[in-house]
Amino acid sequence: MTNLSKDFLKQTPLLDFNHPQIQALIKQRAWRALSQYDAIGAIYNYVRDEIHFGYNADDRLGASQVLKDGYGQCNTKGTLLIALLRAVGLSTRFHGFTIYNELQRGAIPNYLFFFAPKRIIHSWVEVYHDNRWINLEGYILDKSYLKQVQLKFVDKSDGFSGFGISTKCLANPNVDWQGDDTYIQSEGIADDFGVYSQPDDFYASHGSNLSGIKKILFRYLLRHLMNYNVNKIRVKGINSPD
């Protein structure tokens, strides 16, 4: 059996899994009583579908704040996923990237797309299971949102990019936990920054997506417009009237 670093189980300011709300959730769901395989699947499904796809105030939110928000994107949902997995004793690490902004078009309305950087900070979670590291990225979009995109582009049988998706097969993307890698945006990766034991270290090195006036506008106005758009897609579909 491989002896892994204790860093992969560590609590950090972002991975605040001893927070009372996180501990209460774990107890309520009885995740500690599950096998490793089933615990990964149950926690993964929770973060994917019960924490809706949306845009938080910042990438660098603690897991407890993401849980309180009840929504997130690749980076913030990933922070929560790492924290929950570590809280039940599963070794995890962070893999940092950038993605091309075009895959966000549609989720980000066209009238706001000017504000999106050309390359957007992105990440996925790696969990150690069955003596290997497994990549988890398919948790980003909740299934109710993903279904609406699939319904709109039902005839799209080849690669698809847009609405927060970049995949070779929109009809059947690899987003379900079956003991192997899951992906939903991996075809849009631009830069690979490698793996980090802690997301805190990555953000200390690479920052987040926006700065200056754009960051202020995003925090207090733009993300709310983006979340309104995403929620409308989830409930009513694409190109539906308000």
Q: pLDDT digit string (tens) for 104-162? A: 999 999 999 988 889 999 999 999 999 999 999 999 999 999 999 999 999 876 799 99
Helix, strand, coil share of the chain (percent; to 5): 45, 20, 35
Residue 219 counted as domain residue:
yes
Confidence of residue 241 (pLDDT cuts 50, 70, 90): low
Quick check: is 91 in a domain? Answer: yes
Residue 140 is assigned to a structural domain of this protein: yes
Structure confidence at residue 233 as a pLDDT band (50, 70, 90): very high
Number of domains observed in the structure of the chain: 1
Question: CB-based contacts of 216: which residues, under 8 Å, 6+ apart?
Answer: none
- The answer to whether position 47 is within a domain reads yes
Percent above pLDDT 90 for the chain: 88
- How large is the average pLDDT for residues 17-21? 98
What is the spatial distance between Cα 41 and Cα 44, in angstroms, rounded to a whole number?
A: 5
What pLDDT score was predicted for residue 1? 47
Distance from C-alpha of 83 to C-alpha of 61, rounded to nearest angstrom: 12
pLDDT category at 240 given cuts 50, 70, 90 is low
Q: Give residue 213's pLDDT.
A: 82
- Calculate the average pLDDT of the chain: 95
- In a domain, residue 241? The reply is no
Is 4 among the domain residues?
no
**55 in any annotated domain:** yes
Q: Which domain holds residue 95?
A: 10-236
Residue 47 identity (one-letter amino acid):
V
3-class DSSP assignment, residue 107? coil
> For residue 78, what is the domain's CATH number?
3.10.620.30
Reported as a single tens digit per residue, the pLDDT across 43-86 is: 999 999 999 999 999 999 999 999 999 999 999 999 999 999 99
Instruction: Let me know if residue 2 belongs to a domain.
Output: no
